[in-house]
Every structure is written in C-alpha cells, then in structure tokens.
C-alpha cells in the first residue's frame, strides 16, 4: 500500500506588475532553486504558436529568429515551470496580460511557505495584488464631458431660438456623455496596457507619469489644454453675446 503524502499548495496573484529583466532573473533564480535544468521550462505564445525552451535565453533567441509577425521585444505572456516528480514539488510563474500568478506545491509545507514568502517579498515592490486605477482618466473624461456639455448648450441656444431649453439640455447631455465615453474608452485602454508590463530583454521604466509619456502624448495633452483654454474663452464671449445684453 502506497504511503499517504499530504500536499501543500499556495498561490500568489497580482493584478498589476512592472517587471524588467533584472527583476525577472531574480524571480527565476528563486523559483527554480533546487531543480535540475531538465526539470525547468520556459514558454510563451505568439500568433497562435507556443514556444517552449529549457532556458529563457533559448526562448528569447527563438522568438527573435521566428518569422512570425510582431515585435520580438514585446511579450504579452511568459510561463516559468519547474517540476520535480521525485520529490513531489513544483513551482509555476505565469505572466499574463491580465495578471501575474505564482503557484507553489509540494509535500514539504516548510519549503512551500518559504518559497512563497521569498517570491512575494521579491515581487511586492513591483506588483500589486489589488488593481489601483489612476484618477487621471476619470477626471479628464469628466472635465471634457462637462466642457462639451456647456459648449453644446450655448451653441444650440445661440443658433436658433426655436429650440426650447429642454432640447438644448438634451443635445448637450448627449454630446457630453459621448465625449466622456470616448475619453474613458481610449484613455482607459492605454492605462490598462501600462498596468502590466514585462520586459524580458531590458528594464521597465520607473519614471513618473509625465516623464513616461511619449512625445506624441505630450503634444496631444498640450493641444488639449490649449483647446480647453480656447473653449473657455469662447464660452465667456458667447455668454456675453447671448445673455450679457438686455
């Protein structure tokens, strides 16, 4: 009769992360400690093809020389797996475009919890278990929606007196909600993409929000600010023309 073996399993799950190559190497060192090279594997999927190699360098080389489309330096997923069937222990680290998870399992509870604590301590500075959204996109969307609402209301009232006030309010509300939706959709998509970053060949920038923007983003934001100032000036002028005269 086979001897019963109790197994302990733990899981770490991070909703956001920014991991560069040096941090990734430290994670690999701890996760694969005590495993033989043949017990370790690295894999990633690109354009429907799964690449699997024994080392990360071999996997990076395979992606770099692959004829499949896409930037070889941009990875949306990476799995690090280590299995020791003889000692009945395993470690899996999965980077996905929606989360980072770590599974540790084994019959030695002390080893399992020890590895869990070590990997957690390593990842906590660059990953968060709870998703923390930046208020920037929401505030920008609300400001843009409010501005569009006022502009639309004044324009419809100034354009023709045939439109009742409630009609102008309806048109302005529709325009404002549309502007809000556009900002939240496109701004939110960009923000989501920046919450989970994995760089297997370099480092992930820890610069501030403004410094991390591309030149195109900075120009667009500056243009939006100028447009907002111009719109406010136009609103003041329209107000004087429509309501300032008795």
Q: Could you state, in order of their start, the residue ranges of all structural domains in the chain?
A: 8-128, 135-194+213-242
Q: What pLDDT was estimated at residue 70?
A: 81
Q: Are 55 and 104 in contact (CB under 8 A)?
A: no
Q: What is the pLDDT of residue 52?
A: 96
Task: Report the pLDDT value the prediction gives residue 172, as an integer from 0 to 100.
Answer: 52
Residue written as tokens 């994670």? 27
pLDDT value, residue 51: 96
Low-confidence ranges of the chain (pLDDT < 70): 1-4, 129-196, 205-246
Task: State the DSSP code for 93.
Answer: E
Alpha helices in the chain (DSSP H): 21-31, 56-64, 109-123, 135-159, 165-193, 215-242
Residue of 168, 151, 170, 171 whose CA lies nearest to 160: 168
């Amino acid at each position: 009769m086979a001897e019963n073996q109790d197994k302990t399993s733990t899981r770490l799950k991070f909703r956001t992360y920014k991991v560069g190559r040096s941090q990734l190497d430290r994670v690999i060192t701890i996760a694969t400690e005590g495993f033989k090279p043949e017990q370790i594997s690295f894999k990633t999927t690109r354009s429907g093809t799964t690449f699997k190699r024994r080392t990360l360098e071999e996997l990076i080389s395979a992606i770099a020389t692959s004829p499949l489309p896409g930037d070889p330096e941009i990875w949306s997923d990476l799995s690090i797996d280590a299995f020791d069937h003889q000692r009945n222990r395993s470690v899996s680290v999965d980077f996905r475009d929606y989360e980072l998870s770590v599974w540790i399992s084994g019959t030695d509870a002390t080893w399992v919890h020890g590895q869990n604590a070590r990997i957690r301590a390593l990842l906590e500075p660059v990953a968060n278990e709870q998703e923390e959204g930046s208020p920037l996109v929401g505030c920008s969307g609300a400001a843009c929606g409010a501005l569009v609402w006022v502009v639309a209301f004044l324009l419809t009232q100034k354009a023709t007196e045939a439109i009742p006030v409630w009609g102008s309010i309806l048109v302005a509300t529709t325009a404002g909600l549309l502007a809000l939706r556009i900002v939240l959709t496109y701004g939110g998509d960009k923000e989501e993409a920046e919450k989970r970053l994995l760089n297997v060949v370099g480092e992930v920038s820890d610069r501030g929000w403004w410094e991390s923007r591309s030149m195109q983003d900075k120009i667009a934001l500056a243009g939006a600010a100028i447009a907002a100032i111009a719109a406010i000036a136009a609103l003041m002028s329209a107000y004087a023309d429509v309501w300032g005269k008795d």
